[in-house]
Amino acid sequence: MKIALFGKHYQSDTIEIICQVIDVLEKNGAEICIEKKYYDSIKEEFELLNEYETFKKHDDLNESIDFLISIGGDGTILRAATLVRDKNIPIVGVNAGRLGFLATVQVENINTFLPKLFTNDFKISKRTLISLKCSPPNEDLRDINFALNEVTVSRKDTTSMITIETFLNEEYLNSYWADGLIIATPTGSTGYSLSCGGPVLMPENSSFVITPIAPHNLTARPLVIPDNIEIRLNISGREDQFLVSLDSRITTVTKETSLTIKKAPFEIKMVDFFEEGFLKTIRKKLLWGEDKRN
């Protein structure tokens, strides 16, 4: 079995986590390859017992990779998704961050959960992605034009609200007068969209959520739509430029730009262990249903 390791950046307090992960994999006879920048940062801090194969980009990953282990927080998993893309390599999230809603393998469970990869004692959760097309084209989005969590449009160089004219399958929906607009996947429904009042969707749900950011009109509520609908956005406001983000990647567009958002043609596979399912995660991470009276 061949397993790839990826981390967004190295922090000295994660040394024990990295050592634990590598130790479990080697004890189970796995072949290990590590993302080049991550590998170099690790080697600067401590000496690895073995030399490992490295990879740099999406094209370096092939069908020989059985899993990609992301070591970090949820942001690291979002970056890992840009490496995996359409390669169908399942991602395992080891939480070296804080909340870790996607990175469900906690430090104390590394020795318990990771060996399950070698006995097929897990399930695969297929996660829908959302894609973005700009007209005229935006060079920043030409290569990586998809998101696992959400696509967000927001104001840039102004404190004034912007107007986001929204169409669903070319039928006019609404003109949101707000600080911005979030189009979230089921995976992203527990992120930025949730903090702006959006609903939580189960990962298997075939829907997107349209959530306005601080809308001027309080009747503009979050809307759940089928994920086979194409969304088109036209933006206007006092300034000429606006921000568009795909997960953690941000670019600038002009108000002449038309944004087309729809379901991406591929999915990301996440490894879920039976002891840490979605319902348990929202109870534990979001304190779902917590009430001091009970």
Catalytic residue among 23, 40, 59, 74: 74
| Whole-number Å distance between alpha carbons of 257 and 234 | 7
In the DSSP assignment, the letter for residue 101 is S
Cα–chain-centroid distance for residue 1? 26
| Whole-number Å distance between alpha carbons of 64 and 74 | 25
Closest CA to 123 of 272, 243, 23: 272
Per-residue CA distances from 16 to 20, 46, 96, 191 (Å): 6, 11, 10, 28
Quick check: 176 and 161 in contact, CB under 8 A?
A: no
Cα–chain-centroid distance for residue 185? 9
74 a catalytic residue:
yes
Active site residues: 74
